[in-house]
Amino acid sequence: MRKIILALLILIKAYSAQSQVTPKVFESGIISNNGVFGFTLSPDSKTALWVSSNGKRDTLKIMESRKINGKWSTPVVAPFSTSNGEWKDIDPIFSPDGTTVLFQSNRNTGRSASRTDFDIWAVEFNNGSWGKPYNIGDLINTEASESYASMTIDKTIYFMKDNPDGIGKSDIYFSEYKDSKYQTPQNIGFPINTDERESNPFISSNGDYIIYFSSDPKGFGDVDLMISTKKNGNWTTPKNLGKSINSSLAEFCPFVHKKEKKLYFSRQEKIESRMNENIYSVNFDVKKYQ
């Protein structure tokens, strides 16, 4: 009998360990509905934002849900986004302190109506209320698309830039916040940026690791999530997050919730004329990659 109990305990432990590394669809039917990506969560885990794509990317708007009594409320269009598809809004990410959300938009407020590229925008979030969204400025935003911006605790922003003069097909840049303004963006450089496509950078609150996607052909799928840590001021050779997270499909839009110790990301499967896109979550320990 003792042997049977011991065997059962071993099986339970093995199953529990596996469940910690197997990503699961996040809130299927409420948030994940085969047409969403780009998830972010407030530090207190009570406010969620993500992108509704309808699986075709013809309409892109940011959705919001609040956790009330342990359950997510019916999603609504975030007040700072568009409800009628007038423009496209993507990739919201909360700042480490939860008071700011960075996102990208092709809205033409304050710029030529002929432009269709994405700029980085921000909106303040205080005591559960949203402020007025604002463009973070022309020093970072150009007539090329800037997207997927995330922020450290000292307000340094990391983002992707479509730049024909960059190292690869798309590069990751960063801009430091000094003297109450953002500085000229710098290319993060090798070994993170390569001849391949690098994008969707999530920077840790202390700036000591970065997760992003790469089209490196040595990966498992279309694009894979990679991680690099900073040691002695330099970025280490990036590591693939592994087959438990990356698949034969496309994994993108990483976001790590520090308190929950969870990685949220999006996975996309192209099926005929649409893209099935959902949000996944998995327990995450950065020490495994250092």
Dihedral angle over CA of 174, 179, 181, 186, nearest 10: -20
Q: What is the pTM of this model?
A: 0.91
pLDDT tens, position by position, 142-186 = 999 999 999 999 999 999 998 666 666 799 999 999 999 999 999
pLDDT over 60 at 4, yes or no = no
Distances (CA, A) of 241 to 141, 143, 263: 30, 33, 11
3-state SS assignment for residue 208: coil
- Digit-coded pLDDT (tens) for 59-71: 999 999 999 999 9
Question: Which domains occur in the chain, in start order?
Answer: 26-289 (2.120.10.30)
Could you count the other beta carbons within 10 Å of the beta carbon of residue 126? 10
Tokens representing residue 47 in the block: 């406010």
